[in-house]
Amino acid sequence: MPQQQDRMGFALLAGGILLGLVFLGFLLGQAAMNYKQLDRSVTVKGLSEREYPADIVIWPIQFNIASNDLGELYQMLDSQSSQIRAYLRSNGIGASEISVSTPAITDKSAQQYGNETQVVYRYTALQTVTVYSSDIETVRAVMGSLSELGKQGIVFTGDAYQTQTEYLFTRLNDIKPDMIEEATRNAREVAQKFAADSDSSLGKIRKASQGQFSITARDKNNPHMKKVRVVSTVEYYLSD
């Protein structure tokens, strides 16, 4: 009788262990399936691109003068810089928006290094009057009429680098939230289309990264119009 009870106890124990192993296998299988589901994802990019007018213009107006008399050279510099300032003021540009740089004077006789060739003018001077303004349209209108000063004897230089006009867009922080939202929304639309095409359901965001904002001229003929662009990269979970 005790032996029979031992056999029954052993059978029950073995059965319990077997059921436990079956249940454990089921749990492990479910866990593996769930892990596999979580491991499925899709990475998409969303773009937001908008156009805005620049809000600051920096316009350097550079002119040069030559003379054999240094005192006369400085008088001509003062006269012509005042002439430029007066012209700008008369065309709607404020006094606080105009600045004048220190002139760069060159003594050509000191640069001959033994060369006996005579120079026509010993001294040359280069000076820049800079306009820094938020009134883009007024400044652009004056740019188109600057030749009127050239007719009065002012010689403007055409250095492509030093006289290049800059247009700035400084309101990026104001538009950032809306553009990031738009880029994220566009990314989700792409992900939803991918999920639908693959007979899947789109889940939550697994991870996301925001690209850098870029501000460029819309085109070379309209540098005062700016194209603002940002790309967001978002990874979504997928499920059946």
> How confident is the model over 170-217, as pLDDT tens digits?
999 999 999 999 999 999 999 999 889 888 888 888 888 888 999 999
Query: Which H or E run includes 220?
Result: none
Give the C-alpha separation, 18 to 40, whole Å: 33
Token pair recorded at residue 40: 């499925």
pLDDT of residue 208: 87
pLDDT of residue 136: 95
Residues 89/95, Cβ–Cβ less than 8 Å: yes
Q: Enumerate residues 6+ apart whose C-beta is below 8 A from 95.
A: 85, 89
3-state helix, strand, coil in the chain (%, to 5): 45, 30, 25
pTM of the model: 0.75
**Arithmetic mean of pLDDT, 36-61:** 88
Give the C-alpha separation, 35 to 133, whole Å: 59
Rg of the chain over all Cα atoms, to the nearest angstrom = 37
For residue 217, give the DSSP letter: E
Amino acid 161 reads Y
